[in-house]
Amino acid sequence: MRFASSPAIRAVVGVVISVVALGIAIQGVDLGRTADVLRSAAPGWIAAMLGFSILDVSLRAVRWQRLLAPIRRIAYPRMLGYLLVGYLANNVLPARLGELVRSHYLGDREGISRTTALGTVVVERVIDTTAVVLIASAAILVLHVRGVVANAVLVGLAVSAALVVGLAVGIVAHRLPFADRVLARVERWPTIVSLGSRLRGGLAVAANPRTVGAAVVLTLLAWSMSVLAFAAAGQAVGVELTIGEAAFLSSGVALATAIPSAPGYLGTFELAAVSVGQTFGIPAGQAFALALLAHAGILIVTSAGGAIAVLRLGWAAGVRGPEAAVSPPRSSGGPASG
């Protein structure tokens, strides 16, 4: 008899990781002083932080819209809503399960295969991870950072390279020499074959240079907004970050939140921010206050936006029809109109 399902185990592991990370983050931190710093935070800079966070999310919605364009053109307001629903789910579910939620949410309402939609999310994650690692690597060189944090970024660089290779293999897997033998073995499970074909249909958008180029540009713009949001959060609590420091802080936090944790990345976000902040001399108390403010801003924007999206789009599945098979997108030329 099974006493725990796999999702339950992942949730427990995530909570444990978050509790341990949060415990490490607050070591040596005067929580009373941190509360005082947050109470005296500059409202103008908090407003700027929230504004940059909103622009960040808005650009990410455009990016997903562009990635889906070869498959189906979707109006931007709905695209933004689907993305925000996924972010809201990430805030209340462990292990970044919001990525699955937004794929299903979009698929149910747009008549697109949910698996194909998930394929575009995978492409998005690979581009995002690669950009974050490159930003962090550049910041390490500019700031001359050494130690554990720098080593973690180097590990991230290796993981990013592996993800890019994996994505390339996923796109051309059906053309590899051993593909026929593999297909012959799995053809007895038509559901798996169908899911694999639909997933490849989403991954194949990465073979479109114009689509990937637009996604890369939008990714860099979105991360620029994230960097400015962290810089504004620092100003709000009396920490003047250079652009390089803010870039390292935002990218370091992003890499840390890739680790499975409790909902909302609680603990891993704060530990990463404190650890990175201390590498360029920010006292633990101020770094923790900065982390709490930046984290709260992100949660407020994504949770409020996600709640509004659910109210506007509805939660019931199948509004626009069941999952439909979608032909793989073209590998060259511009986005197709839908």
| Contact status, residue 185 vs residue 102, Cβ threshold 8 Å | no
pLDDT at 143: 82
pLDDT at 187: 55
| pTM (two decimals) | 0.83
Q: How far apart are CA 166 and CA 184, in angstroms?
A: 22
The burial of 97, by beta-carbon neighbours within 10 Å (0-12 exposed, 13-18 middle, 19 or more buried), is given as middle
pLDDT at 173: 52
- Identify the sign of the CA torsion 63, 128, 300, 290: negative
Q: How far apart are CA 290 and CA 147, in angstroms?
A: 22
Length of the chain: 338
What are the b/e assignments for 3-20, b being 16+ CB within 10 Å? eeeeeeebbeebbebbee
DSSP conformation class of 179? H
pLDDT at 183: 47
Q: How far apart are CA 160 and CA 166, in angstroms?
A: 10
pLDDT at 141: 85
Q: Which amino acid is at 233?
A: A
pLDDT at 168: 66
pLDDT at 336: 35
- Identify the sign of the CA torsion 274, 275, 276, 277: positive
| Contact status, residue 293 vs residue 42, Cβ threshold 8 Å | no
For 219, the token pair is 């990714």
pLDDT averages per 10-residue partition of the chain, 338 residues: 56 83 89 92 98 98 97 96 96 85 93 93 93 89 75 68 67 52 51 60 89 96 98 97 95 86 89 92 92 97 97 72 40 34
3-state secondary structure of 75: coil
Q: How far apart are CA 81 and CA 3, in angstroms?
A: 37
